[in-house]
Amino acid sequence: MKPDWDKLMKDFEGSDTQLVADVDCTADGKPLCEANGVRGYPTIKWGDPTALEDYKGGRDYDTLKKFADDKLKPVCGPMNLDLCDDDKKKEINKFLEMDEKELGELIEAEEKKLTEAEENFKAEVQKLQERYQELTKEKDEQIAAVKDAGLGLMKSCAAAAAKKKDDGKDEL
């Protein structure tokens, strides 16, 4: 992917409205990566720098280029109200008219919902993991009990009986 990404960065080099870049999340870029929820590498983010979204498309040059051409352009937002429809303008203006404290509290409340969703997900996955381990233990115990009850010996006896039967046949 790296050669295709480098080619894409070169395509958009010098653009006034589009940025294609890479960040080293293990060095100086670590705080930026942490602030934007980058957990694995490579991760591709796109959109408004204050509200980046995860890119979920293909990783080859042609797919990346088409996505960049289609999506990496000025979009509706507080800095580009002229690109917004009336409903989005009303929503943006509502937020812009709030005082800083009120907007901060609203953002905090919404971010809390995200945190709660993530915590709930992790807790439920932990429950699934614990249940999986219980089921694995139960299965292993049942298999051991069946084998201890003589399944292997039964199969050996069945094979020996079949061989004995076949050995006793006359060929014409």
pLDDT of residue 121: 96
pLDDT of residue 76: 85
Report the mean per-residue pLDDT for the chain.
90
Classify domain 2-73 by CATH number.
3.40.30.10
CA distances from 112 to 14, 102, 118, 119 (A): 38, 15, 10, 10
Spans of all domains in the chain: 2-73, 100-163
Mean pLDDT of 60-83: 88
Q: With contact defined as beta carbons under 8 Å apart, do 11 and 21 qualify?
A: no
Judged against a pLDDT cut of 90, whether residue 105 lies above it is answered with yes
- Specify burial of residue 89 (Cβ count, 10 A radius: 0-12, 13-18, 19+): middle
pLDDT of residue 42: 86
Cα 87 → chain centroid = 31
Q: Which residue has the higher pLDDT, 99 or 15?
A: 99
Judged against a pLDDT cut of 60, whether residue 172 lies above it is answered with no
The Cα–Cα gap between 133 and 129 comes to 6
pLDDT of residue 119: 95
